[in-house]
Amino acid sequence: MRIQWFPGHMTKALRMMQDELRQVDFIIYVLDARAVFSCLNPKFDALTGRKPVLYVINKCDLVEKNDVDKWLKYFEERGEKCVAADSLNGRQRDAIVRLLRQLNADVIEKYRNKGAKKSVRAMVVGVPNTGKSTFINNLCGSRKTVTGNRAGVTRGKQWVSLAEGVELLDTPGSLPPAFEDEKRALHLAFIGSVKDDVLDLEELAAEMIAYFTKHHTDAFLARYGLDAIPLDIEERFLAVAKARGFMLAGGRIDYARTARAVVDDFRKQKFGRIMLDLPEEI
């Protein structure tokens, strides 16, 4: 399955980020815990430059804690600052704010020595649907940015302030202009970072079922009451359609509903709290 989605607003977003870079002191790089490695966008590398970077593994409530710990260790071993965040209730808020201030202690001290009451500023970046806006709202303790569980909600820049003297710039999610790694592209499609409208959902569901033939197979079988995942793709759709009651007259498969069900079941954790990318597999 060939995936390509880079609408015009993403080009504008990258230009805007580059223009705003001189105004920020550090970068907050938000990653979806279900596909940490796939969420690393090479186009953001130029943005970071020499700015301090805090990686945030977001939506940790959607995966297993021991898998998150593997990624925290991965970043730590590379000398990178990384923190885990829950997308629902922001329980890590105080710890994250403290870390932000620690990362920028020299900047804060410089402003203080000059007698300037100036906040440190961070640009929040990430691919679509990693929960950047929700993460910012959790830090702020209020709904200051537009959020939504789909790709492409944030279209323009939004500055918001924390009471602790930190200002955050929410930016639109942006994908690489071209995917060189089909596996990473698929994982981003699985988690909703690529708009479903530009995808063939039947192909996406077929790829997702293929994933379950190699990983978390028992969870897939349990979900649909199957003994095995058939080898033939049509038989796979037939098995799921029968399990979900998505058969049409004459014994035909309702492919659209079946495909939608498989994709939604993954995104709603009906197969469990699955992490697609693991450090030992990259």
* CATH number of the domain residue 224 falls in: 1.10.1580.10
In terms of domains, do 78 and 210 share one? no
Summary mean pLDDT of the chain: 86
Chain centroid offset of residue 226 CA? 30
Least confident among 29-33, 80-84, 126-130, 154-158: 154-158
- The C-alpha atoms of residue 88 and residue 58 are separated, in whole angstroms, by 10
pLDDT, tens digit, 9 for 90 and up, residues 103-121:
878 877 887 788 776 778 8
Residue 185 has φ and ψ, to the nearest 5°, of -60, -45
- Residue 145 confidence (pLDDT): 52
| Final residue of a structural domain among 153, 170, 187 | 170
The full DSSP string for 69-84 is HHHHHHHHHTT-EEEE
131 contact partners, CB below 8 Å, separation of at least 6:
30, 32, 58, 59, 87, 147
Does 61 have pLDDT greater than 80?
yes
Query: Domain total for the chain?
Result: 2
Domain presence at residue 99: yes
Tens digits of residue pLDDT in 165-192: 788 998 888 887 667 788 999 999 999 9
Q: What share of the chain is helix, strand, coil (3-state, %, to 5)?
A: 50, 15, 40
- pLDDT value of position 87: 66
Closest CA to 137 of 58, 64, 63, 62: 58
Whether residues 13 and 151 fall in one domain: yes
- Same structural domain, 166 and 210: no
- Number of residues in the chain: 282
Residue 187 lies in a domain: no
User: Are 152 and 231 contained in the same domain?
Assistant: no
Decide if pLDDT at 263 tops 50: yes
Q: Label residue 148 by pLDDT band (50, 70, 90).
A: very low
Q: Is 142 helix (H, G, I), strand (E, B) or coil?
A: coil
Pair 121, 219 in one domain: no
Q: How does residue 196 score in pLDDT terms, banded at 50, 70 and 90?
A: very high
pLDDT at 6: 54
Q: Which residue has the tokens 């077929």?
A: 206
Check pLDDT > 50 for residue 210: yes
Domain that holds residue 204: 200-281
Residue at which a domain ends, from 170, 187, 218: 170
Q: Could you tell me if 146 and 267 lie in one domain?
A: no
Q: Is residue 237 part of a domain?
A: yes
Is residue 264 within 8 Å of residue 204, measured between CB atoms?
no
**Which candidate, 282, 272, 247, 280, places its Cα nearest to that of 63?**
272
| pTM for the predicted model, two decimal places | 0.88
Burial 60-70 (b: 16+ CB within 10 A, else e): bbbbeeebbee
Domain annotation covers residue 238:
yes
Percentage of the chain modeled with pLDDT above 90:
53
Q: What residues have CB less than 8 Å from 133, skipping those under 6 apart?
A: 145, 146, 147, 153, 154, 158, 170
* Residues 59 and 208: beta-carbon distance below 8 Å: no
Sign for the CA dihedral angle at 251, 216, 135, 177 comes to negative
Confidence (pLDDT) at 90: 65
Q: Kindly report, residue by residue over 69-96, the tens digit of the pLDDT.
A: 999 999 999 999 999 998 676 667 777 8
Is residue 163 in some structural domain? yes
175 part of a folded domain: no
Q: Are residues 24 and 163 in the same domain?
A: yes
Q: What is the CATH number of the domain that holds 37?
A: 3.40.50.300
More confident residue, 214 or 158: 214
Specify whether 217 is located in the same domain as 117: no
Predicted pLDDT at 151: 44
- Indicate whether 144 and 207 sit together in one domain: no
d(CA 76, CA 168): 24
Q: Do 233 and 96 belong together in one domain?
A: no
* 126 lies in the same domain as 216: no
